[in-house]
Amino acid sequence: MDSSDFRKNAHALVDWIADYMDTVRAYPVRSQVNPGDIRKQLAPLPPQDGEDFETIFDDFKSIIMPGITHWQHPRFFAYFPANGTPPSQLAEMLLSALGVNAMIWETSPAATELEEQMINWLLTALKLPSDWSGVIQDTASTAVFCAVLVARERVTGWQVNDKGFTGDDRLTVYTTGETHSSLEKAVKMAGLGRASLRFVPTGDDHSMDVLALSEMIKKDKAAGFKPALIVASVGATGIGACDALKEIGIIARSQDIYFHVDAAWAGSAMICDEYRPLLNGAELADSFCFNPHKWLGVNFDCSVHFVKDKDSLIRTLTILPEYLKTREGDAVTDYRDWGPQLGRRNRALKLWFVLRSYGLDGLRKMIRGHVRMAEDLAKTIGAAPDFEIVTRPRLSLFTFRVYRPGVAHGALDAATEALITAVNDDGFTYLTRTVVDGRPVIRWQVGQVHTTEQDVSESWDRVQTLVKPLLATL
């Protein structure tokens, strides 16, 4: 493909993308295909001879598109959002054209320096300590993995990196059952083992019981364990639970335990002053993560990982420092040792485009709109006869279920489960489930960039229609 063919194909593709943005509401939100439907349409073997771009693009439209779940759909209320705003998409196009590997400063000084400055912008926007450093990772899972590794090294005097576990080190990690499963994966990957995880009980609002935390630490220490890490959540995935960072941070500091805060989803909302109190105490953390790819309009992937002490992170992950040294030395940042992988994308460009295109005020307006729509809808659902709100809106996420007085939990739970299936088979809107206190609930989060009040109310109308036959069986 020469540059003139590229130009022609790219223009056709951009036209298609713009049309897609205009017409995305016409698609079912969740792909309606069955397992294997897509695979069986794909050629069994790679072609020997090259094919026309038109043919490839036609196949994309006819084969791939039906198997796409539309994360950019304004009636996507499932999981958390993964928003891709137009400016972010444009930055992504440039990134793919440049194809930069931003592993060290020298391999693209602009990538590194832009990343450092975006970290500073976001520290300011979130009112976090200005002397923190940070790095842009792919996902929050990577940030928590780094936190587990640094915590492991700190508590063992950087011995595990050298010798591996010797059998004397029995480390413990404290969190709650609300915390994202990426922590459990991280303790497995870091060799601590699942048995190191301590699930601290939670109170009525599903936040960590801080007294129980300090008792568990005391007991573990007395039994010869080495408490290594506390992970707190702000806006946990299930129902948006928020831990009390200040109280937890005080314990972490007094016990010298590494403290990581996971605000993957909710962190973006902290650019609004009225929600910022949820981060009170975050300044006591050793590391903090949030995903602009969830709720700040930056398309996947872009996860910001702030650290209080960058030297601990680098010391944990650095390899062969002499061999990879460049002549700039300490004068520049080489992000290669701030995460597990060497090669890295230049995700900062997307943040720069998005923050400048919308401004913080534009992004605040979007987030406040989502929160208001969720609060209004929760009020409506709370007042509806056949439903009850189970967890009230935390920012823009709440949960509800089918309810009828006098009907046994088993039947109501079955109706709730059946409703989720009916909604997602229908495709008009997309909702996901979780379990609260042992019973299934439906999560509803509002967070897609283009969602309107009409999208919300039409989706709620559809839910009410779909529940009717299920209510008849109660």
Ligand X SMILES: *Cc1c(COP(=O)(O)O)cnc(C)c1O
Residues forming contacts to ligand X in the complex (CB under 6 A) are 80, 139-141, 180, 182, 233, 236-237, 262, 264-265, 291, 303
Q: In the complex, what is the shortest distance from the CB of residue 196 to ligand X, in angstroms, rounded to a whole number?
A: 19
Q: How far apart are the first and last CA of the chain?
A: 62
CA distances from 57 to 51, 52, 334, 411 (A): 10, 9, 39, 48
Q: In the complex, what is the shortest distance from the CB of residue 117 to ligand X, in angstroms, rounded to a whole number?
A: 22
Residue 282: both structure tokens together = 């975050």
Q: CB-wise, 115 or 138, nearer to ligand X?
A: 138
Q: CB-wise, 335 or 387, nearer to ligand X?
A: 335
Q: In the complex, what is the shortest distance from the CB of residue 182 to ligand X, in angstroms, rounded to a whole number?
A: 5
Q: CB-wise, 227 or 240, nearer to ligand X?
A: 240
Residue 291: both structure tokens together = 């995903």
Q: CB-wise, 182 or 299, nearer to ligand X?
A: 182
Q: Name residues whose C-beta falls within 8 Å of residue 44's C-beta, 6 or more positions apart in sequence.
A: none
Given the structure tokens 């593709």, which residue do they identify? 13
Closest CA to 240 of 109, 361, 398, 38: 398
Q: In the complex, what is the shortest distance from the CB of residue 367 to ligand X, in angstroms, rounded to a whole number?
A: 15
Q: CB-wise, 302 or 363, nearer to ligand X?
A: 302
Q: In the complex, what is the shortest distance from the CB of residue 5 to ligand X, in angstroms, rounded to a whole number?
A: 36
Q: CB-wise, 79 or 403, nearer to ligand X?
A: 79
Q: CB-wise, 176 or 291, nearer to ligand X?
A: 291
Closest CA to 434 of 29, 175, 79, 69: 79
Full DSSP string of 172-187: EEEE-TTS-THHHHHH
CA separation for the pair 288, 308 (Å, rounded): 9
Burial string for 310-348 (b: 16+ CB within 10 Å, else e) reads bebbbebbeeeeeeeeeeeeeebbbbbbbbeeeebbbbb
Q: In the complex, what is the shortest distance from the CB of residue 48 to ligand X, in angstroms, rounded to a whole number?
A: 38
Q: Say if strands 171-175 and 226-233 run parallel, antiparallel, or are unpaired.
A: parallel
Q: In the complex, what is the shortest distance from the CB of residue 129 to ligand X, in angstroms, rounded to a whole number?
A: 21
